[in-house]
Structure 1
Amino acid sequence: MIRVALLGASGSIGAAALDLARAYRDRIRLVSLAARKSHAPILRAAEEFGVRRIALVDPAAAARARATWKGGAVLEGDQALVELAEDEDADVVVNAVVGSIGLAPTVAALERGKRVALANKESVVLAGELLTEIARRSGGLMLPVDSEHSGVFQCLGSFSVRDVRRVTLTASGGPFLRRDPKTIQDSTPEEVLEHPTWSMGERITVDCATLMNKGFELIEARWLFGLEPDRLNVLIHPQSIVHALVEFIDGSVVAQLSVPDMRLPLLYAISYPERWCSALPRLDLVDFATLTFEPPDPVRCPGLSLARRALVAGSTAPAVLNAADEEAVRLFLNRRIRFGDLIPIVEEVLNAHRPAGALTLDSIRDADRWARARLKEAAAHVIRG
């Protein structure tokens, strides 16, 4: 029986994890649940699975939960996520929290030698270098839940990264793949949130439209697999069937294919090193007459180029990029800036940043705060209303 702490239980990854817990009641036991402020679904899940410890980051949501639920302990605040991640009753921590708030529980779990099924990409974008060192010292393990990184992990198998010439992550291309770039500058949040393949949270869906999300995934791959930037590549693949390709130095290419269903990489991250028989949808290539691939267009995919710059710069540059992007996306979703203004103001912040020397958790936090404040300054001249 694998005991799981599920952080971010109310989001799309959390829903996938709950589906798996239902399907594998004889193998998965949820020991704790956490969310930012959506207390109602957390309480329903706690009752369904007999969970006795929940955490809500928002104090008001935690108070409402305590008033209506007497089935166990209700923790609150950012530190509550760390407490659940450290809990000795949890073998695996599924970190599906959105945003930089997910970094602290990732650190806490790895320091205790736990396995982290990592969907919180910000953890690795901000602190990948530090996390890999913590995992090396403690024996902890980061297993990716992103379909692309899970694909790379599966393709690598027992091979050494020394044998890898290039790793390619695929991207659907987002909702504007075939649109004239000039016509998308004034796109509404509703248009941007219409992703052609995946059902995800709002921020990541917006980032898919600019390909900033794929840029963040390049940064993740750098640290998850120990690959230099020049060995990382992206291809547009609208069908979202091939998730990753690994080309070896002898010319062989190994690819991972599956239907686009987040439950599959999540299941592998929980069951690893085993593979469990599942009833998840199967891939039949006969159903797909054509699988297409094309290089990303820099004009359509401005976020990707910006993320590559941050990747090469290293140090605190990725933390600055993440924080500035998070704030800019929030402004866009609140209709305060145009879609076409999103990447330019993020770029302005990145251009103004001077990376710190040695990367530490304190330097990451400082860079995060600086970038959020600087983004508000950069946005002042394009703010609506």
Structure 2
Amino acid sequence: MTRSTTDEAAVPPLPSPKERRRLREAKSLSEEEVAAAVGVTRATVRSWETGRASPRGRKRALYAKLIAPEPAVKPEVVKPEVVKPPVVTAEAAAVVAGPGAAAAVAGPGAAVPAAPDLPEAPPVPEAPPAAPPADPPPAPSSDTPSGAEAPDERRVSPAEAFDELYARTAPGLVRQTYLLTGRRALARESVERAFELAWQRWPEVAVDRDPAGWVRAAAYEYAMSPWHRLRRTHRHPDAPPTEPGKRALFDALLDLPPAYRRTLLLYDGVGLDLPETAAETEASTPAAAGRLMTARAAVAERLPELADADSPAEQSALLQDRLGGLARAEHVPVPRPARAVRTGSENKARLWTRAAVGGVALLIAVTGLTLHTAPTHYEQPISPPERVGGVPPRGGPQKLTAQDLKLQKSLREHLSHGPERLAPQLE
């Protein structure tokens, strides 16, 4: 085992990303100070607090020590002194227990001195018997029937826990997402997609500090994706409310930039505090505060009653009431049942698994076919043709063509009319 692995194993497990940020702010440490102490950049510290990365090795130990909460002062425990029993001699036994005991200690035939008259000592109170240590509760075994468990400790299956979370948070989350996007169908689709993703990662979501916040962040990220503008059904927002006050608030929300709209909805609509809002929007606390103040000022220009508020707390309460009334007044579609969402998530996961297996099988088949048909040795390519020079032309009479042969035959068969030909003769 290497040294870095040993050091990492010795460091206690780090808290969740949100808890890391809270511990850092509780110690009044900025991201720059933590980065300088650990030896990394500010972006790295921000990635640790948002969950995109996790420190390792020596940096993990330094970071854990830096954000570790201060231990509570425990009261000093006074250990009782152990009193050794005194050594009892024969004379002392005779004084305490009487002559009979002295004779038993001294042995037969020994002389026992007479016991002096001593005042009777007060009886020593006996110490109460120590309470037996409390046994830990027995671990549940597989042989124990479920009926033997306590009624308040009934085990909940993952499906039941998911259904309970879905039934408690899905309707309100659809209304929140509608205020974020202004599209009813997209709000329902985003929430169902977030819960499908949560069911695929349920072992991770079930142990999270805030499972509802995990699902809410996933739904908001999916709803605010810019790729929805390419879809015809989600290209334009739905019709605004008919009531003038709700219409003004609806238009003011949609005119805000997405990051400012999300910050305003989380703080004044959901009721999160400023550090939690900053952590969920992946921004610093001052940046989240600036976005919140800018968004409130922009909405207050459309709503005169918000501008007339005496304090920011009153303005926040009034805005929260108006956002809740707008979400409840609109007819937002009800999400599908939890069982349908779980079944859809499992079907999608099964489909993607089959597609991945099919792609791997196709790649293996193509690779095998290529190996089978590929040449096993090198074959030199055929050179392209070239014109050869320096060859003498063909000599002698040329070969007669068909026309020449026809003319020759005609001349031999028909004699010409005219003077006789002069034939050379030898003399």
The interval holding the TM-score normalised by the smaller chain is under 0.3
Could you say which structure has the greater relative contact order, defined with CA pairs below 8 angstroms and 6 or more residues apart? 1
Q: TM-score, normalised by structure 2?
A: 0.22
Q: TM-score, normalised by structure 1?
A: 0.23
* Structure with more helix by fraction: 2
